[in-house]
Chains A and B, each alone.
Chain A
Amino acid sequence: MSTPSRFWREIPQRYRLEANKCKRCGYISFPPRLICPQCQNREFKETKLADKGKILTFTVIRVPPQQFVDQAPYAVGIVELDDGVKLTGQIVDCDFENLKIGQKVKIEFRKIFDAGEAGILCYGYKFVPE
């Protein structure tokens, strides 16, 4: 089982969508990086991800990992946010049959799963169709 530090050090990203933007080419890194993968520049300014976007692709997980067993079936998609960043996450509060590529979604803060018997609750972003 993981120690709590593994979860809390990701909080700026998972709770507040903190990213960084390359001062030279504008590439947005999420999570933040120390060197730009596009132009190898090392100077960034802090930014936050857009909170809306559209579904690029999606699936419905029927055979889940162990810590997601009580949630299955659930939808997971890749969403392109309005700032161009692409994120993987669950799509919730929807009928699977009505999900479509191109559909508009917004980001909401939700519980993701319980980490084992110690009961750490793991939070983060999920997508909700608008």
Chain B
Amino acid sequence: MREVAVIGVGMTKWGELWEKSLRNIFVETALLALDDAGVDKIDSMYVGSMSSGLFVGQEHIASLLADYLGQVPVPSARVETACASGGLALRLGFMEVASGMSDVVLVSGIEKMTDVSGYEATYALGTAADQEYEGYHGITFPGLYALMARAHMEKYGTTREQLALVAVKNHLNGSKNPLAQYPFEITVDSVLNSVMVADPLRVLDCSPITDGAAAVILCPVEMARKMKKPIVKITGSGHATDSISLSSRKDITWIEATYQAGKRAYAMANKKPEDIDILEVHDCFTIAEICVIEALGIVEKGKGGKAVEDEVTYLEGKIPVNTSGGLKAKGHPVGATGVAQVIEIVKQLRGEAGKRQVKNPKVGMAQNMGGSGGSTVVHIFEKE
């Protein structure tokens, strides 16, 4: 296998982008990544998108977007594993470059979510759960994570305030990220007084509906060295599945697919949890961040709530989590999220993260998750 580097990143401001179409958002973002890498031609591309069909009524977007990026006839594939689509696009791009099949590969993710009503968006997101045995009974995504939150609180004594602190921390980080959808701070009180969505989760425990894209350029490390680019290597990649139905899992408080994907990524990179300097995780809901840092071995089982209360996961803490603002503050255009996590890790490792820069990180990790944990993709990155 060849060593693989990320040599270019591109992301534009996320939010409710009513004036922009799916293809516009994609091309603007991808051009930034090409410029950052200093290339204008690619050999192949991947697009992570959960549901362009339900969100904008358009399938076949891999070719559409290759065309509008001026790259036909390059091979282009759309990748879908619900909210982990972007992370999986990265894994496939990584494998393609590592295998020697292609040299310069564009990996992107996109979702245009505000062309439909709130009900239609809720429906589209709900298709990531088991439609016949979960959705049929009226459960929503906030509802599924609420079931996990209540069970975690009962089993480990995790508090309502600890959940709120995840959102407070991520908004504090997001307030330093000019590309975030909601770049402002919030307080524990504002979380606890926000509208109840699915007890015990309130609206400020939930990531928002967002339009946005993210793109990165991969190439062999050898080639990147010749191009004299700052090099961030992908040294570990793990991917795992679980039942998409929450009730089928042995332990409702434990995200086994994240544990399994993490284990594979750690083994490939020859790293341990204590080697990770910065971490981007899939905080689609506050409880998710708590469960994920436990499953990745960053904290002990049951101690995720305590970790945020003790500020271990804050920007100045021992292991900063979601320096970008996370899904919570940065926004969550579903298919784009996994690629945007990579961009944050690359910026941090290059020392380009501005006001939210962590002091001299060497090793970063990104964890991207689909549904209520039915899939997870984990990557480890190292600065050369």
Contact = CB atoms under 8 A, between A and B. Distances in A.
Given A10-B132, A31-B133, A66-B123, A87 B247 contact: yes
A118 B248 CA distance: 33
B247 A63 contact: no
A62 B139 CA distance: 10
A88 B143 CA distance: 11
Interface string A92-130: 000010000100000000001100000000101000000
Contacts of B196: 60, 62
B226 to A, nearest CB: 49
B147 A61 contact: no
A86 B132 contact: no
Contacts of B132: 10, 31
A17 interface: no
Interface in A61-95: 61-66, 68, 71, 74, 76-78, 86-90
B148 interface: yes
Contact of A78 (B140, B195, B199, B252): B252
Contacts of A68: 138
Contacts of A86: 247-248
Contact of B199 (A10, A59, A65, A71): A59
B141 to A, nearest CB: 10
Interface of B: 119, 122-123, 126, 132-140, 142-143, 146-148, 150-151, 154, 195-201, 243, 245-248, 252
Given A56-B252, A60-B199, A78-B246, A90 B151 contact: no
Contact of A63 (B123, B134, B197, B246): B197
Contact of A57 (B134, B136, B148, B248): B148
Given A57-B252, A63-B198, A101 B140 contact: no
B198 A60 contact: yes
B137 A112 contact: yes
Given A88-B245, A101-B150, A61 B140 contact: yes
B140 A63 contact: yes
B134 A88 contact: yes
A65 B126 CA distance: 9
Interface string A20-48: 00000000000100000100000000000
Nearest to A102: B154
Contacts of A88: 133-134, 137, 139, 245-247
Interface of A: 10, 14, 31, 37, 56-66, 68, 71, 74, 76-78, 86-90, 96, 101, 112-113, 122, 124
A49 to B, nearest CB: 12
Nearest to A69: B119
Contacts of A65: 119, 122-123, 126, 135, 138, 140
Contacts of A78: 147, 246-247, 252
A77 B147 contact: yes
A59 B146 contact: yes
A58 B137 contact: no
Given A78-B247, A88-B247, A101-B154, A64 B147 contact: no
Contacts of B119: 65-66
Contacts of A96: 199
B247 to A, nearest CB: 4
10 tightest A-B CB contacts, nearest first: A59-B146, A57-B151, A86-B247, A68-B138, A66-B119, A60-B199, A59-B198, A88-B247, A57-B147, A78-B247
Contacts of B136: 14, 112, 122, 124
Contact of A76 (B122, B138, B197, B243): B138
B273 to A, nearest CB: 27
B139 A101 contact: no
A71 B243 CA distance: 28
Contacts of A57: 147-148, 150-151, 154, 252
A83 to B, nearest CB: 14
A56 B148 CA distance: 10
A60 B123 CA distance: 18
Contacts of B201: 59
B26 to A, nearest CB: 29
A62 B197 contact: yes
13 contacts: A58-B147, A59-B147, A59-B200, A60-B199, A62-B195, A62-B196, A62-B198, A65-B135, A66-B123, A86-B247, A88-B133, A88-B137, A113-B138
B43 to A, nearest CB: 39
B151 A101 contact: yes
Contacts of A66: 119, 122-123
A76 to B, nearest CB: 5
Given A60-B199, A76-B138, A76-B147, 4 more contacts: A59-B200, A64-B138, A65-B123, A101-B150
